[in-house]
C-alpha cells in the first residue's frame, strides 16, 4: 500500500470518544490560564516587579510552557491520564489561590462574606468582551495542534474526526470554529447595516475572498503534491475554508431579514428541517454512499455542500449568543450572572442532545445533523463558562495580590486612565502570547496549515517514536508562536481585506 493510502487509512473509519471526555478537556485551558496568572503573582510578590527579566524571551517561554505545552501533552502522551492531570493542576491551583487569599487578608478584619460581597459589587472594564477572546484563541490553538498531531500515532485515534457518527475532539473543533467566528461577527457586535441590505450582503461576499483564496490554494496544493486527504470529511474538491466562506455569506444574507431576537428559533427550524429531510428522504443514504463520487461535482462534494445547513445553524446560534455576551456589564456580579445563564444553557442543550441521540440519530459531523448542531453549541457554551470562571478567579487574585496589571479579559475600573497599572497592563499585554494569537488569528490558522503540510512532507509521521513525535509537535507549535508573537511585539496586524 502506498504511503498516501496508509495515511488516509490512518485517519479513516474512526468512532470518536465519549461526550464526557470531550467535556473534560474544557477544564485544561482554564487551569493553564489560572496557573500562568498565579506564577506571575508569586514572582511579583517575591521581586516586587513585573515583567520578568529578559521580557521578550521569558514571557514567551512562560506562556508556551504553561499554556501550549500542557495542551500538546494532553492530546499525546498524557491523554490516558487526563483526569489525573486535571485533578493535580486543580489541586495546585486551589493551594496557591488559598495562599494568595490568606496572605492578602490575614491582616484584614474583613470577613469572608464581606470580601466576596465587595468583589461582586466591584466595577469592571474591558477592551474585549470577557472570555470571548480566550474562547476564540484556544479554539484556534487546539485546532493548530490537532491538524498536525492527528497524523502521528501518538495522537489517540478517539480524538480524531469520526467517519460517520461519533464525537471526536476534532469534530467539536470544526463546530467550535464556526461558533467562535459568529461570536465576533459584525451582527453580534451590533454594527448597523450601512447602505441597503443588498450592499451589505455584497460587502460580506467580498470580505470572504481570503477564505476562498485559501481554499483554492489548499485544493491546488493537495492535488499537485498528492497529499493525503480524507474525502468523506468534505469531499473531493471541498475543504473547510470553502465552508467558512459560504457559511459567512449565507448567514449574513439571512441576518438582514431575521429579527435579532429570533435567531435561535430560525437556527432550530433550519437544523430541524434538515434533520427531517435526513429522516424522511433518501438524503441520508445519498450522503453516506461512497461509490458515486466521480459522477459529478455534487456527488463528489456532497458532505461539504449539505453540511453547510448545519454550520449555518451553528453560526446563527453563535450570533445570538454573541448579542447576549456583548451587552455592556459594569459589575462583577453581572458577569457572574452571565456565566450562570451560559452554563444553564449548556445544561439544557445537553439534555436536548440526549433526546436527539435517543429519538433520532447520534452526532454526525459528516452530515452536520441536528445532534451535531446541538452538541457543538452545548460544548461551546460549557467551554466558554469554564474560561469565564477562570477569568473571574484571575480578577479576584489581581485584587487580592494588588498585581492589577496581570493580563486578563477583565480589569477593575480605574479612576485615572494614566495610572501606573494601566501603563503596566499595556506592557504586559504586549508580552502576552494569547493577545498575540488574538491579534492575527487568521494568519495563525493559515501558518498552522502551511507548516502542517511542510512537516508531513519532511517527516514520516506514522513511523516516528513517541518522544520524537512530541518534539516535532512542540517545535511546530513553537514556530507558529514565534512568528505570531514577533508580529504582536512589533505591533503588526496582518489584514487580508
Question: By the 8 A CB rule, do 475 and 148 touch?
Answer: no
For the chain, the straight-line distance linking the first and the last C-alpha, in angstroms and rounded, comes to: 44
Distances (CA, A) of 148 to 165, 450, 474: 22, 10, 11
pTM for this predicted structure: 0.93
% helix, strand, coil for the chain, step of 5: 70, 0, 25
Count the neighbouring beta carbons within 10 Å of the beta carbon of residue 321. Answer: 23
- 494 part of a folded domain: no
Report residue 203 as a C-alpha cell: 460587502
Whether 391 has a pLDDT exceeding 60, the answer reads: yes
Q: For 2-25, write each residue's pLDDT tens digit.
A: 666 676 777 777 888 999 999 999
The answer, yes or no, to whether residue 404 has pLDDT greater than 70, is yes
In a domain, 229, yes or no: yes
Q: Does residue 445 form part of some domain?
A: yes
pLDDT tens-place string over residues 459-494? 888 888 999 999 999 999 999 999 999 999 999 888
Q: How many domains does the chain have?
A: 1
d(CA 304, CA 15): 19
State the residue range of the domain holding 16.
3-489
Q: pLDDT (tens digit, 9 = 90+) per residue, 287-304?
A: 888 776 677 888 888 888
Domain membership of residue 497 (yes or no) is no
Mean per-residue pLDDT, 142-163: 93
- Please report whether residue 496 resides in a domain: no
Cβ atoms < 10 Å from Cβ of 217:
15
The whole-angstrom separation of Cα 397 and Cα 454 is 42
Q: How confident is the model at residue 220 (pLDDT cuts 50, 70, 90)?
A: confident
Establish if 109 belongs to a structural domain. Answer: yes
| Residue 299 within a domain | yes
* Residue at 204 is within a domain: yes
Tracing cell 451560559 back to the chain, one arrives at 342
Q: Which three cell numbers stand for residue 224?
A: 499537485
CA distances from residue 408 to 30, 80, 220, 238, 368 in whole angstroms, order as listed: 12, 31, 41, 38, 34
Amino acid at each position: 500500500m502506498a504511503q498516501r493510502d496508509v495515511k488516509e487509512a490512518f485517519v479513516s473509519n474512526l468512532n470518536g470518544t465519549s461526550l464526557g471526555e470531550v467535556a473534560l478537556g474544557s477544564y485544561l485551558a482554564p487551569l493553564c490560564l489560572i496557573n500562568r496568572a498565579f506564577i506571575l503573582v508569586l514572582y511579583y510578590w517575591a521581586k516586587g516587579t513585573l515583567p520578568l527579566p529578559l521580557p521578550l524571551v521569558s514571557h514567551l517561554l512562560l506562556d508556551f510552557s504553561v499554556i501550549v505545552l500542557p495542551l500538546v501533552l494532553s492530546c499525546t502522551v498524557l491523554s490516558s491520564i487526563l483526569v489525573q492531570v486535571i485533578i493535580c493542576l486543580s489541586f495546585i491551583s486551589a493551594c496557591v489561590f488559598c495562599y494568595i487569599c490568606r496572605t492578602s487578608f490575614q491582616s484584614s478584619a474583613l470577613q469572608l462574606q464581606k470580601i466576596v460581597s465587595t468583589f461582586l459589587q466591584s466595577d469592571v472594564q474591558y477592551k474585549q468582551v470577557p472570555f470571548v477572546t480566550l474562547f476564540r484563541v484556544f479554539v484556534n490553538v487546539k485546532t493548530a495542534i490537532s491538524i498536525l498531531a492527528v497524523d502521528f500515532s501518538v495522537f489517540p485515534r478517539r480524538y480524531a474526526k469520526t467517519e460517520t457518527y461519533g464525537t471526536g475532539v476534532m469534530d467539536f473543533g470544526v463546530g467550535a470554529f464556526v461558533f467562535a467566528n459568529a461570536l465576533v461577527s459584525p451582527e453580534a457586535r451590533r454594527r448597523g447595516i450601512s447602505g441597503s441590505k443588498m450592499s451589505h450582503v455584497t460587502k460580506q461576499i467580498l470580505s470572504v475572498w481570503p477564505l476562498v483564496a485559501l481554499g483554492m490554494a489548499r485544493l491546488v496544493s493537495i492535488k499537485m503534491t498528492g497529499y493525503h486527504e480524507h474525502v468523506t470529511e468534505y469531499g473531493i474538491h471541498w475543504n473547510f475554508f470553502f465552508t467558512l466562506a459560504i457559511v459567512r455569506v449565507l448567514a449574513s444574507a439571512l441576518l438582514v431579514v431575521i429579527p435579532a431576537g429570533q435567531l435561535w428559533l430560525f437556527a432550530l427550524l433550519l437544523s430541524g428541517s434538515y434533520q427531517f429531510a435526513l429522516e424522511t428522504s433518501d438524503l441520508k443514504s445519498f450522503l453516506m454512499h461512497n461509490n458515486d463520487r466521480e459522477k459529478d461535482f455534487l456527488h463528489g462534494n456532497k458532505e461539504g455542500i449539505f453540511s453547510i445547513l448545519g454550520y449555518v445553524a451553528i453560526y446563527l446560534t453563535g450570533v445570538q449568543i454573541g448579542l447576549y455576551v456583548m451587552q455592556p456589564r459594569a459589575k462583577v456580579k453581572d458577569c457572574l450572572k452571565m456565566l450562570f445563564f451560559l452554563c444553564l444553557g449548556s445544561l439544557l442543550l445537553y439534555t436536548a442532545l440526549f433526546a436527539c441521540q435517543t429519538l433520532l440519530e447520534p452526532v454526525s459531523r459528516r452530515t452536520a445533523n441536528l445532534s451535531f448542531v446541538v452538541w457543538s453549541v452545548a460544548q461551546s457554551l460549557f467551554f466558554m463558562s469554564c474560561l469565564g470562571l477562570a477569568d473571574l478567579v484571575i480578577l479576584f487574585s489581581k485584587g487580592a495580590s494588588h498585581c492589577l496589571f496581570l493580563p486578563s479579559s477583565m480589569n477593575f475600573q480605574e479612576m485615572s486612565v494614566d495610572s501606573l497599572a494601566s501603563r503596566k497592563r499595556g506592557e504586559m499585554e504586549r508580552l502576552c502570547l494569547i493577545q498575540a494569537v488574538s491579534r492575527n488569528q487568521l494568519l495563525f490558522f493559515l501558518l498552522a496549515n502551511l507548516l502542517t503540510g511542510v512537516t508531513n512532507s519532511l517527516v514520516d509521521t506514522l513511523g516516528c517514536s513517541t518522544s520524537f513525535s512530541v518534539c516535532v509537535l512542540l517545535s511546530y507549535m513553537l514556530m507558529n508562536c514565534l512568528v505570531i508573537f514577533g508580529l504582536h511585539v512589533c505591533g503588526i496586524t496582518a489584514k487580508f481585506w
